[in-house]
Amino acid sequence: MKLFRKTTTAVLVFVLTVILSILFSGHMKLSSEANQVLDIFYEGERKDGLSIYTDLKDLVDASRNIVSLTQKFVDPSAVELTSLNDAISDFSSADSPAEYYEIYSRIVANMDDVSALFVIYCDDDAAMKLFEDSAAVFASKMNTISYDPYNRYVREYNKLLEQFPAKVIAKLTGVKEVSAFE
């Protein structure tokens, strides 16, 4: 308590306390907002489960169906099929929106080739019908993913981090930008 008898020391301690409080509360606030943005990716804007993540899961399921159907008519070791299979396998190991986007891009790119192969070699109407149903689901999920507002929220949050004083607090406390799905 002798320490606080001197005015200068007391003022210094007070200022230090204020600064630490600001940094701590700023860090908590920014982290909380970052988590809210990430929740939009996994749970949806309205927390109703209609999110990019659930759409991706449905898209991957449709892709698996298409791969299974195609393997009945095309050699499973075909390059197009193995590339698509690899992308589908990597889906379970992704853990950030940027990684999910990279896998999504690979699936979409390879799906065109696989679909072309199936259409050429398929000679079964029932299989064609199943393929078309899966393709419809795939296309529909691509639409919903493209219209999802997640990236808009990410841009707003990252823009906030570029402004003062969030920029200073983020640099001092280690808060990073949220990765977009692009």
Partner 1 sequence: MNKMFRKIWLFCALLCIMVLPVSAYVEIVEQDDSYFVTDAAKVLDSSTEEYIVSKNQVLNATAGASIVIVTVDLLNADIVDYAYSIFNEWELGDAELNNGILLLVSKGDQDYYCMVGRGLETIFPADELQQILDDDLEPDFASGNIQQGIRKVFDTLYQRCVHLYNVNEDAASDINPLDQVFNSVSTLFTILQIALMMFVVITVLVVVLTTTARRRVVHRPAPPPPLVILPPRRTSSWVHHRPSYPASHRPVNRTVVHTPSRSSGFGSTAHRSSTPRSSSSFRPRTGGSSRGAGAGRRR
| Site residues, partner 1 (CB under 8 A) | 48, 50, 132-134, 136-137, 139-141, 143-144, 146-148
Question: For partner 1, which is the closer residue by CB, 33 or 148?
Answer: 148
Q: How far is the CB of 132 from partner 1 (least distance, A)?
A: 7
Q: How far is the CB of 40 from partner 1 (least distance, A)?
A: 13
Question: For partner 1, which is the closer residue by CB, 27 or 155?
Answer: 155
Question: For partner 1, which is the closer residue by CB, 141 or 180?
Answer: 141
Alpha-carbon gap, residue 127 to 106, rounded angstroms: 24
Q: How far is the CB of 137 from partner 1 (least distance, A)?
A: 5
Q: How far is the CB of 43 from partner 1 (least distance, A)?
A: 14
- Identify residue 175 by its one-letter amino acid code: V
Question: For partner 1, which is the closer residue by CB, 145 or 169?
Answer: 145
